[in-house]
Amino acid sequence: MTRFFRLAALATLALPLATPGLAEEAVPEPWPLRIHAGEASHAFRVEVADAPAERSRGLMGREQLAEGAGMLFLYATEQPGGSGFWMYNTLIPLDIAFIDGAGRIVSTHTMVPCGSNAPGDCPVTRPGVPYRAALEVPAGTFASLGVEVGDCVAWPGVASRCESPSPG
């Protein structure tokens, strides 16, 4: 009988590997996001990380991130300016914008991958001011679009926080 339970346990563990799609993590539909930078408005499609495990994993292991794509990290409460993001196991350089509760960018940085196998050796990028969300996009995006501190970021549920650019 003990052998039966061992075989049953092994079969249960192997099931996701033998069943196509079951072992793969479901990827939720990306959210639309807009950055209002001066008179311009820039559209993105972003994955949302709003649970601790999702925020911890972030974009680790990704070999590429398409233009116009990114990841939005959402927090239920304001985060202190001394907390931040690292690039451990992140393979691509990224721009990050820290966003306050009103949807305004309060700090931006460009982050490079950390090649160390020791997480403690990877630098942490901190905004220095409190934030409620963070947006990661391919490195160079903010500079090429003219995105800067004070610009407004809108996504479903917070679009009313940004004023529309005034008509030309």
Domain limits, the chain: 26-161
Q: What is the pLDDT of residue 56?
A: 86
Q: Assess whether pLDDT exceeds 90 at residue 158.
A: no
Cα 30 to its chain centre, rounded Å, is 11
Measured between alpha carbons, how far is residue 151 from residues 73, 106, 168 in Å?
A: 17, 8, 18
User: Which of the 8 DSSP states describes residue 119?
Assistant: G
Segment 12-63, tens digit of pLDDT: 333 333 334 434 456 678 999 999 998 999 999 999 999 888 888 988 889 9
Say what the pTM is. Answer: 0.80
Which segments of 45-131 does DSSP mark as H helices, in order? Answer: 52-57
Q: What is the pLDDT of residue 160?
A: 58
Segment 72-106, tens digit of pLDDT: 999 999 999 999 999 999 999 999 999 999 999 99
pLDDT (average), residues 68-75: 95
Q: What is the pLDDT of residue 15?
A: 37
Q: What is the pLDDT of residue 3?
A: 42
d(CA 107, CA 99): 7
Q: What is the pLDDT of residue 2?
A: 45
Looking at domain 26-161, which of 1.20.1200.10, 1.10.3720.10, 2.60.120.1140, 2.40.110.10 is its CATH number? 2.60.120.1140
- Mean pLDDT for all residues in the chain: 83
Q: 124 falls in which pLDDT band (50, 70, 90)?
A: very high
Measured between alpha carbons, how far is residue 140 from residues 2, 36, 121, 137, 161 in Å?
A: 59, 17, 24, 8, 26
- Token output for 155: 């996504």
Comparing 7 with 75, the larger pLDDT belongs to 75
- Token output for 48: 């949302």
Segment 103-122, tens digit of pLDDT: 999 999 999 999 899 999 99
